Amino acid sequence: VKEAVEERGPAGGQLAKEYTSAMKDYLARGGETALQRGYEIGRVALAAGLGVLDMAAMHSSALRSLLPRALERGEIAPVLKAAAEFCTESLSAYEVAHRGFRETKTALRQINEMLEQESKRIAHALHDESGQLLAAVHIALAEVALDLSPALQGRMQQISELLREVEEQLRRISHELRPTILDDLGLVPAVRFLTQGVSQRKGLAIELEGTLKGRLPPLMETALYRAVQEGLNNAARHSGAKTIRVRLEQDAQAVICSVRDDGTGFDVSSFFGKQGQKGLGLIGMRERIEAVGGILQVLSAPGQGTEIHVRVPLGA
């Protein structure tokens, strides 16, 4: 245990010594000042990136060096009680951080729900309003065409064709944004529609293997659809991949979903460890999957491609 603390380098080693000394002081004299030192050690440890396990190791190491004297004096019960008080105080900063983390997680969950509503709204607006506007343009063009020479009517025809393509693309994008197929037919058809669209627009080969037995709970279908969507977007935007494989499978216990590309890959630990500005895709995707009781792993390394691997237990 002691080695574990010292392995953390000089900061961890130094703090462990300080912890033992402050606890010794508290055991001998009690009082707020010694407790305050314990609080301060916890705060510094948290800021230095030490975890709760490191704190437990420090505590255990301090106990190991302070208990023999207590044993000799036969004072074991009050010493253990005071050591527990000191330990609790030293963990205060972790408790506050943990509470903040839970609040952030709740907020992120609410933002995800809001985003889902918002994409539904945008999808409908895009679909209905662009559809109506384009229909009006078609009618106006047809009226103008009546007054034109046959040659110009041919040109007008070409413009109408282009407009129809625009219409088709807008329709497709609005369906991908919040696919009614997902509600009506389920995950595999919705993912198939999505992969066809992305493959066509980005010029990528996307293979889909999907074998699910019937429908899944709606929240689970949405979370998995969003994970595949973000996985495909990331592969198309960041990886330079040629081929992407999407797999959806189900066994008795869980649904398994993966998106794997043969692109550049990236250093996952440095992304998740990084502070400050970074994308929200992977974080949001993990939160959505955890909200339905699942686990999301990002497996990648520079030069090795990337795999998003999701497992959602069916009983969750």
Ligand X SMILES: Nc1ncnc2c1ncn2[C@@H]1O[C@H](COP(=O)(O)OP(=O)(O)OP(=O)(O)O)[C@@H](O)[C@H]1O
Give residues in contact with Mg ion (CB under 5 A): 234, 279, 281
Query: Which of 134-142, 186-194, 200-208, 279-287 is the region at the interface with ligand X (rule: CB under 6 A)?
Result: 279-287
When CB distances are held under 5 to 8 angstroms depending on the partner's kind, the choice from ligand X, Mg ion, none that residue 280 binds is: ligand X
Q: For 74-215, where are the alpha helices, taking DSSP H only? A: 76-90, 92-146, 150-177, 180-184, 187-202
List all residues 6 or more positions away from 212 whose beta carbon is below 8 Å from its beta carbon: 186, 187, 188, 248, 249, 250, 255
Does 235 bind ligand X (CB under 6 A)? Our answer is yes
Contact with ligand X (CB under 6 A) among 282, 292, 296, 312: 282
Does 186 bind ligand X (CB under 6 A)? Our answer is no
Kindly determine how many residues on this chain lie close enough to bind ligand X according to the rule CB under 6 A.
16
List all residues 6 or more positions away from 128 whose beta carbon is below 8 Å from its beta carbon: none
Is the CB of residue 272 less than 8 Å from the CB of residue 297?
no
CB of 103 to Mg ion, least distance (A): 24
- Burial class from Cβ neighbours inside 10 Å (0-12, 13-18, 19+) for residue 286 reads buried
* Residue 224 vs 235, nearer CB to ligand X: 235
State how far Cα 189 lies from the chain centre. Answer: 24
Does 160 bind ligand X (CB under 6 A)? Our answer is no
Contact with ligand X (CB under 6 A) among 56, 271, 290, 299: 271
230-254 residues labelled b (16+ CB within 10 A) or e (exposed): bbbebbbebbebeebbbbbebeeeb
CB of 285 to ligand X, least distance (A): 7
When CB distances are held under 5 to 8 angstroms depending on the partner's kind, the choice from Mg ion, ligand X, none that residue 61 binds is: none
| Interacting residues with ligand X (CB under 6 A) | 234-235, 238-239, 261, 263-266, 271, 279-283, 306
